[in-house]
Amino acid sequence: MIIPGLHPLERVERISGSDLHYWVYRGDPGHADAEQETVLMVHGLRGTHEGLELIAAELAEQVVTIPDLPGFGDSGPMTEHNHDIAGYAEAMAELARRLGGEERPVSLVGHSFGSIVAARLAAAAPELVRRLVLINPIATPALHGPRVVLSSLTAAYYSLGEHLPERAAHSLLSNRWVVLAASRAMTRTRDPHLRGFIDRNHLRNFSRFHSPAVLGETFRASVTHTVADYAGMLSMPVLLIAGETDDIAPVGGQRTLAERLPDAELVVIPEVGHLVHYETPGPASVEIRRFLGQP
């Protein structure tokens, strides 16, 4: 993805045994001036930093940092932690510390699977997080409720990938038509140019996982945990941004989650599903800027 005027600086840190790559937009998080804060963003399952760049482009007053989660994109797998919620949260907490979070807490943004990781980080290390933004947050278990059949089939797909020989597994898990089917199932826009843009980004990034084993481990984490697991431990202000027609993170679950959080605000964006970061980054960014601007 190339966004005009957006020229991030790529960096690499050794964290949790991973050569973790992250991109810094507009400044240096370790030396931000008094008027700037650091925003740390966490992408979703099978994503990379690129998926959140449209929102990063709108946050002109913040120093935005987006990593590729360990085992995805350019980042190597972790050797010191499992690829589960706790492992990813610890890796992101260490990155937040290196960005100066102990002196100046970051604002933390997570999308989809990244919302669970962000919630776990904020619950375990609240001193690192000033405000928490969860986009399309996973509030209800995937293996229960109306999506149980589809979720079970998806789980079988990832399990098969783990048990096939490496080359065959990569071929299965990276299959163009499977990726396109998943992309189009999540897309709501009727704009052909935007639909093509989303398809191209999914085709480019969904297959950038280190191994079928890492992908399978991460998938299991994604369907066995939710943000609600940490609701009672999130003491900081929380903004939930939901898609009106999201069938992966339904609005009903977001309303229930908001009621359980001590200090939460729910914004529902109309006519969009699970791809708020691609289809409606403008409206989402307006809400994020407003929320982060509050004292």
Res 2 pLDDT > 80 = no
Res 237 pLDDT > 60 = yes
- Give the CB-side neighbour count of residue 171, counting CA atoms within 13 A: 5
Q: Which residues pair with 20 in a beta bridge?
A: 13
- Rounded to two decimals, the pTM is 0.94
The whole-number average pLDDT for the span 139-162 is 74
Res 150 pLDDT > 90 = no
pLDDT digits (tens, 9 = 90+) for 241-272: 999 999 899 999 999 999 999 999 999 999 99
Q: What pLDDT, on a 0 to 100 scale, did the predictor assign at position 152?
A: 75
Rounded CA-CA distance 127/123 in Å is 9
Confidence of residue 219 (pLDDT cuts 50, 70, 90): very high
Q: Which fold has domain 9-143+224-292?
A: Rossmann fold (3.40.50)
DSSP 8-state class, residue 29: G
Strands 238-243 and 9-15: unpaired
CB 158 within 8 A of CB 209: no
CB 54 within 8 A of CB 281: yes
The whole-number average pLDDT for the span 111-140 is 97
Domain boundaries, given as residue ranges, for the chain: 9-143+224-292, 145-216
- For CA atoms 159, 164, 165, 166, give the dihedral sign: negative
Closest CA to 139 of 253, 43, 235: 253
Confidence of residue 130 (pLDDT cuts 50, 70, 90): very high
pLDDT digits (tens, 9 = 90+) for 189-206: 999 999 999 999 999 999
The whole-number average pLDDT for the span 214-236 is 95
Q: Which residues pair with 18 in a beta bridge?
A: 15
Rounded CA-CA distance 258/45 in Å is 23
> Which pair of tokens denotes residue 65?
């940092």
Average predicted confidence (pLDDT) for the chain = 91
